[in-house]
Amino acid sequence: MSDKFFTVGLISTWYSSNIGVLLLNKFLLSNYGFKYPIFLTLCHMLACSLLSYVAISWIKVVPMQSIKSRVQFLKISSLGFIFCLSVVGGNISLRYLAVSFNQAVGATTPFFTAVFAYLMTRKKEGWLTYVTLIPVVTGVVIASGGEPSFHVFGFIMCIGATAARALKSVLQGILLSSEGEKLNSMNLLMYMGPVAVAILLPAALYMEEDVVGITIALARDDVSIVWYLVFNSALAYFVNLTNFLVTKHTSALTLQVLGNAKGAVAVVVSILIFRNPVSVTGMLGYSLTVTGVILYSEAKKRNR
């Protein structure tokens, strides 16, 4: 009974942190007026680097895994760079797009994963798997046409972030495939975090001019911005931690099913909070995409 309560609590925490960081990102970048997505991502990566080290080195959430060669470090750095692009792209898109539409586009990850897996490894899926990708893409096309607050640049950023997320997943399977180089997701995050910080720091200082000075000035006028950034950054780490723990205590398949439902919950909650306009066409498109993702998961499971 205690194990069941623990699992339910873990899943609830995972849902809360996932949806919470998404909504808080949207609030900061759109409603609050903190228009610095690169700096915001930098804060996320700093938190992921520090808290990952604390969780692994001090709390012993998982055993510490060391980098064994320069080649392995270069592989991790490549993954860190792509990871960085996916998070920045997602945060930039939230400045321009409603969370509901952002989630609809993000749900097309399986499509990009299948494309990259074929292009990079020549891995072919069963014909039924490819058929299920048709509603995934069609749904987003329909949702785009019916989105009241559609923004071209935001859409491009969201598509880019989704593609980068899929590319990282495929590349991770290729680059860290040998037993000696495999890292669990928590150790990988601990090593990718500093790489992302090294990339984002100069990018934020150059592309978001005087962002540090502006943030300090904002904090003098309203100290709540500091707490928003600290809480948001910690939440970004807990998304990764709870993701790992839910997989460990349930299964990857359970995580996939919960992930499909999470997107729908995030859409409903965001509409209730931000009151962004939605259309019947847009919701039908999103529903079609989610249906396609569920069918894709089932088809993949049967092909194993």
Chain centroid to CA 102: 11
Which residue in the block uniquely carries the two structure tokens 């760079």?
81
Residue 258: what pLDDT?
Answer: 77
Residue 304: what pLDDT?
Answer: 64
Mean pLDDT by 10 residues, the chain (304 residues): 80 92 95 93 96 95 92 93 95 94 91 91 85 92 89 96 94 84 91 95 94 94 94 95 85 70 86 88 91 86 73
Whether the CB-CB separation of 150 and 293 falls below 8 Å is answered with: no
- Among left, alpha and beta (phi > 0; psi -120 to 50; other), residue 177 is alpha
Enumerate the domain spans of the chain.
1-126+150-267
Residue 226: what pLDDT?
Answer: 95
Which residues does 58 contact at the CB level (< 8 Å), separation at least 6? none
Which residue in the block uniquely carries the two structure tokens 């923004």?
151
Distance between CA atoms of 94 and 151, rounded to whole angstroms?
11
Distance between CA atoms of 47 and 193, rounded to whole angstroms?
8
- Among left, alpha and beta (phi > 0; psi -120 to 50; other), residue 183 is beta
Residue 33: what pLDDT?
Answer: 86
Apex 37 CA angle, 33 and 43, nearest 5? 105
- DSSP assignment string, 136-192: HHHHHHHHHHT-TT--HHHHHHHHHHHHHHHHHHHHHHHHT-STTT---HHHHHHHH
Distance between CA atoms of 26 and 240, rounded to whole angstroms?
19
Q: What is the pTM of this model?
A: 0.91
Residue 127: what pLDDT?
Answer: 85
Distance between CA atoms of 37 and 33, rounded to whole angstroms?
11
